[in-house]
Structure 1
């Protein structure tokens, strides 16, 4: 009975962490592995419900200027501001780069760490490991909030 509970809760905690990485990676790999990617800045000139647009000014060699690129409209993007960005390959879509972009990309993992800590504490009864997971998630989410 005890082994079954440990195996089930361990599997649930692991799946939560994998889901957090899975949710973060599509953005994180573009923002973190910038070698060979176009990087520059966007000056946000207009925002809709889901996206903002503006002209793109290249910084990296081989990158070309664009009259209009699209960035996701979040609390971290405001009209009239200029942001360092990386162009998503093959598109006119950009993502925030630098420390703020990296931390923002890993926010889903931060939430997963917090959720997994509850499973580890309650289901596995490993309170120290749960505190480490919760602390890591809290630090990641707080750092992302402060960076944006």
Structure 2
């Protein structure tokens, strides 16, 4: 072959090598781009998964807090209801004790009034009897005195 032909063939060969390298480089660039896109998508998926996990954890915490608040509210209501029942029971018991005390006081007062009336009646009876006895003694004494004066 002639040197010009060989140079041309060599030039063609170099061109083909350059094109092949360009294609390889483009292919490598496309592969890099695909890898970058893949990594970007993977990163996005991980970020979304992390956000989803955080959101779920946040929702779980909110739900747990809500349940805890409801439990505290239920307990507070039960305690308040028990305190209200105790208070009502104490009021009722106090009222019953007061009424019983009033009945007892009224009965004692009635008994004392009856005792006073009975004592007054006995006193008046005794006084009347003592007057009658004193009158009788006075009459007897007067009779004796008049009898002695006659003698």
TM-score over 0.5 for the alignment? no
Q: TM-score range by the shorter chain?
A: under 0.3
**Higher strand proportion (structure 1 or 2):** 1
Q: Which has the higher helix share?
A: 2
Larger gyration radius, structure 1 or structure 2? 2
- TM superposition score normalised by structure 1: 0.24
